[in-house]
């Protein structure tokens, strides 16, 4: 039995129909093989073609390129809720739509869109983005990877390394952030540009598939570039404006993390409720104890609050009105709520909560990175404080 949902207006009949289709797809195509993906450390590449057939990749892509032309993030919100509900993920494919697509829509020329988007929608080319470098972390202005224009002006020569790149193993196209000019004394962020790199290009290599605490089915890798030739036609946007572009799209990225965290917290309450109703100790169900009732009630209240924040951010994002500070606030609140709720729900499982065969254990590990990637909680507080005039 599902926990009763708080009254909400963010979804309509189309979203609920998509939810039903997605739930059936997950039960048929993901749940039976998810343990295999977990052991392998990634979802199989062929699975992404199934997502493409389901229409997941093309929802926000214009019809002329093979998409549905629906300019809304609400279908992705449904996806977050349904994967969390089932205790699964779609591997590293999340960055394909949430991170890759906004850059194409914002920056690509008509010619580039004609080349990129049909294969994006079909799953023939999976996309990811390479920002972080060894030793720089959140300090993107400190990146060392370079892209130098060739003497004849036909291509850039890319050299450097990246790490923590989600989707990095399966990616066919990688948006790479690199320096095309040195930073200035006035602005360390000057000189960064974005390039769409063919991962089959000579000199491009995927290093270690990183062994993470959580997100085990998501392929996360180290990348290296040695004299990789990138045609000038694959410069995304204008030279030296990359840092601005990265900042522009951070709101949608942080929304995704916030909404995903809320969905995980909601799922944790569901898992815990089902467990305590079935588990018997001292001759009675764990659910019969007052402490259990109080703990789950407190968790449900926090989930209700996180849902309201996540829904409000979704509406603002769809309206093109989600500010950096609002996105930071939503991410901070929802990820901190999820941290508390999932920990308390795991506690209610007792020792079994520490076993990976139970979804709460995997959820606990998966959730931890939410307060780190996309900007740490400390960075979110800095953004909010600045917006407050502090």
Confidence of residue 271 (pLDDT cuts 50, 70, 90): very high
What is the C-alpha R_g of the chain?
Answer: 21
Q: If we measure between CA atoms, which residue out of 54, 26, 30, 32 comes closest to residue 43?
A: 30
Burial 229-242 (b: 16+ CB within 10 A, else e): bbeeebbbbeeebb
Q: Is the pLDDT of residue 156 over 60?
A: yes
Decide if 253 is catalytic.
yes
Q: How far apart are CA 252 and CA 338, in angstroms?
A: 19
Q: Is the pLDDT of residue 1 over 60?
A: no
Q: Is the pLDDT of residue 186 over 90?
A: no
Arithmetic mean of pLDDT, 292-308: 98
Confidence of residue 142 (pLDDT cuts 50, 70, 90): confident
Burial 78-99 (b: 16+ CB within 10 A, else e): bbbbbbbbbbbbbbbbbbbbbb
Q: What is the percent of the chain with per-residue pLDDT over 90, rounded to a whole number?
A: 89
Contacts with 291 (C-beta within 8 Å, 6 or more apart), sequence order: none
Locate 97 and state its tokens. Answer: 């739509």
Q: Are 175 and 129 in contact (CB under 8 A)?
A: yes
Q: In the beta sheet, which residues pair with residue 231?
A: 155
pLDDT, mean over the chain: 94
Arithmetic mean of pLDDT, 97-117: 96
pLDDT of the residue at 362: 96
Q: How far apart are CA 147 and CA 156, in angstroms?
A: 6
Tokens 């993920």 locate to 89
Q: Is the pLDDT of residue 104 over 80?
A: yes
Confidence of residue 136 (pLDDT cuts 50, 70, 90): confident
Q: Is the pLDDT of residue 4 over 60?
A: no
pLDDT of the residue at 272: 98
Q: If we measure between CA atoms, which residue out of 243, 236, 254 comes closest to residue 195?
A: 236
Tokens 């204008």 locate to 238
pLDDT of the residue at 11: 97
CA 213 to chain centre: 16
Q: What is the percent of the chain with per-residue pLDDT over 70, rounded to a whole number?
A: 98
Locate 206 and state its tokens. Answer: 């995927």
pLDDT of the residue at 140: 77
| Three-state SS at 164 | strand
Residue among 253, 295, 302, 326 flagged as catalytic = 253
Q: How far apart are CA 389 and CA 266, in angstroms?
A: 34
Residue 348, CA distances (Å) to 13, 74, 92, 181 in order: 35, 32, 30, 54
Confidence of residue 6 (pLDDT cuts 50, 70, 90): low
Q: How far apart are CA 30 and CA 226, in angstroms?
A: 37
Q: How many helices (H) and strands (E) does the chain have?
A: 12, 10
Residue 74, CA distances (Å) to 12, 60, 104, 223 in order: 10, 10, 19, 32
């Amino acid at each position: 039995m599902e926990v009763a949902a708080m009254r909400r207006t963010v979804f309509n009949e189309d979203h609920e129909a998509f939810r039903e289709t997605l739930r059936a797809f997950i039960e048929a195509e993901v749940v039976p093989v998810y343990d295999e993906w977990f052991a392998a450390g990634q979802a199989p590449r062929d699975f992404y073609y199934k997502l493409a057939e389901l229409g997941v990749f093309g929802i926000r892509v214009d019809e002329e390129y093979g998409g549905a032309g629906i300019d809304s993030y609400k279908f992705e919100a449904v996806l977050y809720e349904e994967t969390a509900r089932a205790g699964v993920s779609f591997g590293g494919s999340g960055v394909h739509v949430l991170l890759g697509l906004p850059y194409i829509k914002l920056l690509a020329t008509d010619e580039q869109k004609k080349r990129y988007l049909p294969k994006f929608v079909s799953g023939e080319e999976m996309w990811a983005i390479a920002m972080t470098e060894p030793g720089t972390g959140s300090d993107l202005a400190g990146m060392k990877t370079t892209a130098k224009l060739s003497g004849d002006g036909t291509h850039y020569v890319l050299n450097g390394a990246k790490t923590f790149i989600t989707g990095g193993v399966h990616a066919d196209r990688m948006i790479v952030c690199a320096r095309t000019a040195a930073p200035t004394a006035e602005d360390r962020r000057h000189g960064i540009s974005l390039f769409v790199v063919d991962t089959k290009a000579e000199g491009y290599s995927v290093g270690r598939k990183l062994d993470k605490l959580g997100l085990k089915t998501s392929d996360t890798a180290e990348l290296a570039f040695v004299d990789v030739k990138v045609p000038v036609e694959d410069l995304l946007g204008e030279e030296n404006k990359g840092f601005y572009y990265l900042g522009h799209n951070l709101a949608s990225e942080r929304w995704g993390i916030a909404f995903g965290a809320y969905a995980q917290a909601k799922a944790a309450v569901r898992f815990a409720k089902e467990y305590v109703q079935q588990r018997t100790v001292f001759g009675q169900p764990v659910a019969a104890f007052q402490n259990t009732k109080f703990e789950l009630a407190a968790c449900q209240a926090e989930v209700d609050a996180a849902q309201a924040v996540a829904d409000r951010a979704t509406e603002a994002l769809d309206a093109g009105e989600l500010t950096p500070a609002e996105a930071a606030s939503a991410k901070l609140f929802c990820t901190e709520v999820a941290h508390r709720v999932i920990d308390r729900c795991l506690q209610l499982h007792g020792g079994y909560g520490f076993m990976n065969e139970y979804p709460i254990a995997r959820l606990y590990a998966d959730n931890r990175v939410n307060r780190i990637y996309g900007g740490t909680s400390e960075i979110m507080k800095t953004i909010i404080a600045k917006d407050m005039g502090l």
